[in-house]
Chain A
Amino acid sequence: MHTNRYTLIYIVVLSFIVAVVLAFTFSGLKPIHDANEAVFKKRDILSSVKDQLPIDIVKASTEEVLEHFDASIEQVVIDANGKVVEGAKADDIDMKQEEKKPLEERQYPIYIYEGAEAKYYLIAIRGNGLWDKIWGTIAMKDDFNTIAGVSFDHVTETAGLGAEIKDSEAFKKAFQGKKLYNDNGEYVSVAIVKGGVKKPSHQVDAIAGATITSKGVTEMMNRGLAIYLPYFDSLKK
């Protein structure tokens, strides 16, 4: 049996060693963690316009992604009424934090991608999936009606079912060319439907077995895109 004093000293010394080693490892790796996180987000944003990119977004190295992002993206922030917030950078907007604010105080990020031929407006949307939050980036063409591409992500949708919104290239590709407005100029957004697409410019075929996630994406797009419409209207004039 060891004495209490021995036990105490033992614990203190052990905790001290462990804490110091971890602190060193953590601060040593912190820059890499931050870079990884930034690149992960930027890769995600850029992948919504990946057909327009000169680089292969999946294979591109960290430097290439950052370089391209900085060179070709203009960042804008809008408030809940669609007015541009002067001097704000889209990178500083965290949709997760915005969600906790009251509706009228929220701010939304827009990344304007200067492509070789045209401008694309990459906007962030966020909603609920089956298990937890889902979010995505929608790339709008500069007619502010046609979708050029999408990318989605999620916290923890079921792998192989709901998670396909992120993993399935075919699903994301189906959004290209969809329209926000119908022929009469009314906002109808894009819906994900089961059992065959009837209105090809406003509907996308659902992923088999992922009903709730599909509903979540529909709701997220309908609500999320509407927020940006006043801003788009102001640009159209």
Chain B
Amino acid sequence: MGELLDIFLKSIFMENMVLSYFLGMCSFLAVSKSVKTAVGLGAAVIFVLTLTVPINWFINVKILGENGLFGMDLTFLRFILFIATIAATVQLVEMVIEKFSPALYSALGIFLPLITVNCAILGGALFMVSREYNFVEATTFGFGSGFGFFIAIILMAAIREKIRYSAVPGPLRGLGMAFLITGLMGMAFMGLMGINPGLYFQ
């Protein structure tokens, strides 16, 4: 249990996808202009990461691995299968949500296609491979990373909503300021690094 809590807390705070590894920056910068849309994208990312990391774990270990379905090392197909899985999952999620919850669809709908090419999603799958998580750990990691993204983008959106009323130099307005804020937030999150939550929950 301590292990899992360790992975979960680390993926949210110490190893935050956005603020420590700077993955998923494109949508992070593009959709963080207001808190409302940020919540939508954040929720969609949690959803997709929690689904795709375990699915990709399954593909990586049970199909591509040497002890998998075909009994040979098929890791060269990893990128293609991962991204195809992600694209397919996103499409499926989109269709399911549209059918069963139109309200949720109208909230998340426009963000879902954006998520396929969000580095954080593929990054999550690739980190899961390089860190050799097992199934439960992978699921925890997927959810935690998604939640980390959610927190980061909401913080960012809140700051950007405020900064609109400040006298920022013209050329720095918008994108330039967004970069600067993200950098400062990243440095602030660095204060958390090196904390080892696992030690407290054994």
Contact = CB atoms under 8 A, between A and B. Distances in A.
Interface of A: 15, 18-19, 22-23, 25-26, 96, 130-132, 155, 211-212
Contact of B76 (A23, A96, A131, A132): A23
B15 A131 contact: yes
B194 A26 contact: no
Contacts of A15: 80
B77 A19 contact: yes
A211 B194 contact: yes
B77 A22 contact: yes
B194 A130 contact: yes
Given A131-B15, A132-B131, A22 B193 contact: no
Contacts of B194: 130, 211-212
A157 B46 CA distance: 27
A25 B75 CA distance: 12
Nearest to A215: B194
B15 A22 contact: no
Nearest to B131: A132
Interface residues of B, number: 9
Majority secondary structure, B binding face: loop
A121 B78 CA distance: 39
Interface in B12-62: 15
Interface of B: 15, 76-77, 80, 130-132, 193-194
A25 B76 contact: yes
Which 4 pairs across A and B sit closest by C-beta, in order of nearness? A212-B194, A26-B76, A22-B76, A130-B194
B76 A130 contact: no
Contacts of A131: 15, 193
A216 B76 CA distance: 34
Given A130-B193, A211-B194, A18 B80 contact: yes
B154 to A, nearest CB: 25
A206 to B, nearest CB: 14
A23 B64 CA distance: 13
Contacts of A22: 76-77, 80
Contacts of B132: 96
Contacts of A96: 132
A198 to B, nearest CB: 24
10 contacts: A19-B80, A22-B76, A22-B80, A23-B76, A25-B76, A26-B76, A130-B193, A132-B131, A155-B130, A211-B194
Contacts of B15: 131
Contacts of A23: 76
A208 B145 CA distance: 30
A182 to B, nearest CB: 29
B123 to A, nearest CB: 13
A160 B132 CA distance: 26
A131 B193 CA distance: 8
